[in-house]
Amino acid sequence: GQQLNQSPQSMFIQEGEDVSMNCTSSSIFNTWLWYKQDPGEGPVLLIALYKAGELTSNGRLTAQFGITRKDSFLNISASIPSDVGIYFCAGHGGSQGNLIFGKGTKLSVKP
């Protein structure tokens, strides 16, 4: 079945640093999404990407839909302590497809 490889698995950075994480797939997706999960909570949608090459920002977050439609990246600029959590990429193959989730990138920020 479809799988997503998300990297890195975890990151431990200093407050103020920029962060970059990415996701690759063995197959093409029509939509890429990035979710964030805080401890003890369900994931919350951060950014949705619908078109190959699309670059979208949401505050300090920027995400891109890869040209090949098999990858996406998420950047966080000037990280702050509340950025801590697990970031999941997710791909959607089409109108009837299920969301496929990556295994997550755990972000820890040192003040």
Partner 1 sequence: GAGVSQSPSNKVTEKGKDVELRCDPISGHTALYWYRQRLGQGLEFLIYFQGNSAPDKSGLPSDRFSAERTGESVSTLTIQRTQQEDSAVYLCASSDEAQGFRNEKLFFGSGTQLSVL
Contacts to partner 1 by CB under 8 A: 4, 6, 31, 33, 40-45, 48, 88, 90, 92, 95-104
| Signed CA dihedral, 28, 30, 36, 41: sign only | negative
Query: Which of residues 6 and 79 has its CB atom nearest to partner 1 in the complex?
Result: 6
Q: Minimal distance in Å, beta carbon 33 to partner 1?
A: 6
Gyration radius of the chain's alpha carbons: 13
Q: Minimal distance in Å, beta carbon 59 to partner 1?
A: 18
Q: Minimal distance in Å, beta carbon 53 to partner 1?
A: 19
Phi, psi of 81 (to 5 degrees): -55, -35
> Side chain identity at 37, as an amino acid letter?
Q
